[in-house]
Amino acid sequence: MKFALTGISIAHSKSPQLFAAAYPPAANCSYGLLPAQSAEEAIRLFRASGLHGMNVTMPFKNDVVPFTDVQSDEVKLIGAANTIVNRNGQLYAYNTDVHGVINSFLQRGVVLQNHKAIVLGAGGAGQAAAYALSHAGAEVLWANRTAEKVEALAERYKVTPLSFPYAERELDECRIIVNTLPYGADFLQALHFHKHQTILDADYAGRPLYRQAITGGADYISGHSWLLWQAVPAFALFTGLPPDVEAMKNVIQSNA
């Protein structure tokens, strides 16, 4: 069976290493990269390459959905997918980023229910994070550069929408922070954190909030954790097999 990752700027992705570690020793599987310039091109290449499954990263998570045939409940609600499985020519779309967010916190011993959380950014990853935290019982604030995008989705996600200037004022009261903005985003530069907060960065390569989190004494969770815990259910969807989670963890730890 053949699998791949698609998106833009994927050359240095850790996903091939992660999935290679997950396969049982006797499995005849491969995992590669499928660069594309658009979601439509990615789906065309996916079909033409005879791939059985494909992970989707930025900026295609929203745009691939209309090209799939069947969507999971999470994808229908969120409108973003990061996992696509080809079953006899039918493309099934899933969103395992939800599991990536929830398990990153649970594995750290962080209680989500009834705690105040904030999600920064409203792209595909931000939408998955807002959905995940809300359904885990957190009180979720959702911040974007302009509030219009999150305002349109607030009722569906059961969150409170904010624009960035207001988000900065609320940040101190939030126990849980999920950042889906990239390294260098202007809004992030002025943020400060404290020891009662736990921060999860989606960007494991740039680690946008690492220095500020450590300086403020906050508990920092690298995007490598998100990468791991979204990959575990994705592997099961691809292969029908349980992955070697310990081997996957070793890959993550060697790259952390």
pLDDT in tens, 190-212: 899 999 999 999 998 889 999 99
Domain 99-224 class? alpha beta
**Tell me: the pLDDT tens digits for 209-239?**
999 999 999 999 999 999 999 999 999 999 9
Same fold, 2-95 and 99-224: yes
- Residue 158 annotated as catalytic: no
> Domains of the chain: which residue ranges?
2-95, 99-224
Confidence (pTM): 0.91
Enter the DSSP assignment of 90: E
Cβ atoms of residues 138 and 110 within 8 Å: no
Length of the chain (residues): 256
DSSP state of 132: H
Please pick, among 61, 149, 158, 249, the residue that the annotation labels catalytic. 61
What topology is assigned to 2-95 in CATH?
Rossmann fold (3.40.50)
